Amino acid sequence: MFTGLIEEIGEIVNIEQKNGAKVFTLGANFSWELKIGESVAVNGACQSVISNTRNTFSVFCMKESLRRTNLDYLKIGNKVNLERAMILGQRLDGHIVQGHIDGIGKIKEIKEECGAKVFEIEYDTKYIIEKGSVALNGISLTISKVGKNSFCVSIIPQTLEKTNLKFLKSGDFVNIENDMFAKYVEKFLSAKDNKKEKISLEFLRENGF
């Protein structure tokens, strides 16, 4: 689990191809503190540390993860958002982020509004609600507006400065993790709808008949 609060911006220093998968080596200040097997969110995608030095660490990114995320587009020198897994008992200042990317969104437009940068993202809005939460490249954000096939988030200067969003432009791709509670509610309601289609003695008892 993660909080969606980025610890630091890392840099891709090496990429090694591995039969459809990739091993990314990243430069980060906290590299020396990591342990083998520890989880680190890279642009919001949960990855396991396979090795580390004082200034770098490496993760093995499977083919499925590459397919679902923007990690496959990374090149040496690119900047990525990094967050280590949350510690039980620490404050949760963002929202619960699992590190499981649901899809890739495309930046449609970036504009300035009241001192903030407003990012409009092209994406399926099935699980997106106004004032709800979403993780963008691992960053916990509040949705400010929802359209038919896009949504907007407002980025304050402090967030922009501490994340890789400051390097992005229109046409770039971002990892998106929907709010886990929205997905659970949808699953629960779907299950209830399916049950209603099958009237049985068990169904009647469960519903007080």
Residue 110 host element (H or E): strand 103-113
The pLDDT tens digits of the residues spanning 148-207 come to 999 999 999 999 999 999 999 999 999 999 977 666 666 666 665 555 555 565 655 665
3-state secondary structure of 184: helix
Q: Which CATH number characterizes residue 125's domain?
A: 2.40.30.20
* Residue at 15 is within a domain: yes
Which domain range does residue 135 map to?
103-186
3-state secondary structure of 183: helix
Same domain? 44 vs 117: no
pTM for the model stands at 0.85
Same domain? 182 vs 109: yes
Same domain? 118 vs 182: yes
In the chain, how many domains are there?
2
